[in-house]
Amino acid sequence: MKHLLEVKDLAISFKTYAGEVQAIRGVNFHVDKGETLAIVGESGSGKSVTSQAIMKLIPMPPGYFKSGQILFNGQDLVPKSEKEMQSIRGKEIGMIFQDPMTSLNPTMKVGRQITEVLFKHETISKEDAHKRAVELLSLVGIPMPERRVNQYPHEFSGGMRQRVVIAMALAANPKLLIADEPTTALDVTIQAQILELMKELQKKIETSIIFITHDLGVVANVADRVAVMYAGQIVEIGTVDEIFYNPKHPYTWGLLASMPSLDHNGEEELMAIPGSPPDLTNPPKGDAFALRSPYAMKIDFEQEPPMFKISDTHYVKSWLLHPDAPKVEPPAAVKSKMREFKDHYEKPVQVKEGE
Ligand SMILES: Nc1ncnc2c1ncn2[C@@H]1O[C@H](COP(=O)(O)OP(=O)(O)OP(=O)(O)O)[C@@H](O)[C@H]1O
Ligand SMILES: [Mg+2]
């Protein structure tokens, strides 16, 4: 099957006074129709640059593509002009950012902001566009959409604003929706509601989603597959089950261990991953995580590991997966997290409509 999106060997750098920041260093992944891929990783790992690259929203300069292809429906977006991208952004690929106000115009009624997206990308009458705007607000769970459609962004709460942004992003029925930390700016209860909405939408519409977060905790519920990023590279990629129940990379172990407990009582101590990510103006030779890994071997400081294949869907960039490497098990803290997840997220039996 042809993938909806296929990112191949992507490398992006920024030219700065401090030197060349190698933000993305050879990234490969794909997204299929209707699936949700989560990208997780610490701050600075390259999640936003990856998503902005797909929309071609990287400021150039200082940024530039060093290598790679971004195949969307088989067509490479990298060489596309700004004009060509304008008909793809919003229409083919929608995007939701962390702060809803970056996407909303405070001086324009939300209904009009939605109908503008429709007018831009399709031929539609004023009445039909208005009707669609009301439908979209209703789809994203905004109560009294007929009234709300005539209100301004400041009349909405933060969570409701993010729903409006999601409605706008979905207006032109994009094939791919990119959500970059869509809930980080919201409080915990509202976060959960927006995540619930994304899950519902994913079932209702056929849009593929790239969901970016630094919070592994939200991923199990939302995503089909997970890509773990570290220092501008994907270090582990797999299905949710593979990442949560069979994680192989010590960095993924670190992320799992540093997650707050699911039934947390506020007393639990979190295990942060010791150390900090490398300086991307001068990335280390070998495995970029070696300096922080208690399992680092001599080769980790000399040679970059390849992606080792664990299954058709599960790949890990660590020398620990080499057949000659010593067998290491995840630490006890990670194993207990894995068990905890199993108890909480054993997937409920999916009942199809009409059954
Ligand atoms: N315009 C820019 N100029 C120089 N460096 C940049 C620029 N934009 C991003 N970078 C660098 O690229 C790297 C990746 O940044 P990115 O924003 O993708 O991280 P992230 O994973 O999204 O982090 P966060 O969780 O904090 O959002 C960082 O080292 C960052 O400093
Ligand atoms: Mg980011």
Q: Is 46 in the pocket of ligand 1 (CB under 6 A)?
A: yes
The closest of 329, 342, 230 to 277, measured between CA atoms, is 230
CB of 25 sitting under 6 A from ligand 1: no
For ligand 2, the distance from its centroid to the CA atom of residue 47, given in whole angstroms, is 5
Nearest CA to ligand 1 atom 26: 43
Counting from 1 in the atom list of ligand 1, the atom nearest the Cα of 41 is 21
What's the alpha-carbon Rg for the chain, to the nearest Å? 21
Residue nearest to atom 22 of ligand 1 (CA): 48
Q: Which domains does the chain have, with CATH numbers?
A: 5-223 (3.40.50.300), 227-263+270-350 (3.40.50.300)
334 contacts: CB under 8 Å, gap ≥ 6 = 247, 253, 256, 257
User: What pTM does this model have?
Assistant: 0.92
Q: Are 218 and 183 spatial neighbours (Cβ–Cβ below 8 Å)? A: yes
pLDDT (tens, 9 = 90+) of the chain, 355 residues, equals 689 999 999 999 999 999 999 999 999 999 999 999 999 999 999 999 999 999 999 999 999 999 999 999 999 999 999 999 999 999 999 999 888 888 899 999 999 999 999 999 999 999 999 999 999 999 999 999 999 999 999 999 999 999 999 999 999 999 999 999 988 888 878 888 888 888 888 888 889 999 999 888 788 888 999 999 999 999 999 999 999 999 999 999 999 988 876 555 555 555 678 899 999 999 999 999 999 999 999 999 999 999 999 999 999 999 999 999 999 999 998 898 888 877 776 554 444 444 3
Gap between the Cα atoms of 86 and 76, Å rounded: 15
Atom of ligand 1 lying closest to residue 45 CA: 21
Compute how many other C-beta atoms are within 10 angstroms of the C-beta atom of residue 62.
13
Alpha helices, DSSP H, located in 38-93? 47-55, 82-88
* Ligand 1 lined by 61 (C-beta under 6 Å): no
Q: Whose CA is nearest to atom 16 of ligand 1?
A: 46
Tokens at 236, concatenated: 């582990």
Return the exposure string of 213-252: e unless at least 16 CB atoms fall within 10 Å of the residue's CB, then b. bbebebbbebbbbbbbbbbbbbbbbbbbbbbbeebbbbbb
